[in-house]
Amino acid sequence: MNFSSEFQIRDGKISSITDTPDSADWANLIRLNSGGIGVQLSFSDKVARVDAVAANSPADEAGIEPGDIITAVDGVSYSQMREGEIQIRIRGQIGSKVVLTVIRAGVAAPIDIEVTRA
């Protein structure tokens, strides 16, 4: 796996290390996670928008709709994620559950939708 490392030094000591896989490795990590939910996403300005939902997919059955804006996955805010991380968090073991927090047009507050990966 290829990645870059960033070290933060405070008072002459390493206080944290952040490793970031390159984009090809992010893609491989996503592919290796076996289960998905059946959505097509687009990204802009730290917004993850659902562009399409596959018919009869887990997302469709759970009530995810095109136009929904995903603001969090399992309680982790999208604004705090690295590039490509949301896809990894959405995918996972077949049969496991993921909770998406979405903003939907015409609905006053964000809603949590639980989806079972397939």
pTM: 0.71
Provide the β-strand partners of residue 53: 39
The pLDDT of residue 2: 67
The pLDDT of residue 25: 73
* Average pLDDT over the chain, rounded to an integer: 88
Q: Of residues 118 and 101, which shows the higher confidence score?
A: 101
Least confident of 4-18, 51-65, 89-103: 4-18
What domains does the chain contain, in order, with CATH numbers? Answer: 1-32 (no CATH), 35-116 (2.30.42.10)
pLDDT, average across residues 89-94:
88
The model's pLDDT over 12-24, given as tens digits with 9 standing for 90+, comes to 888 888 877 777 7
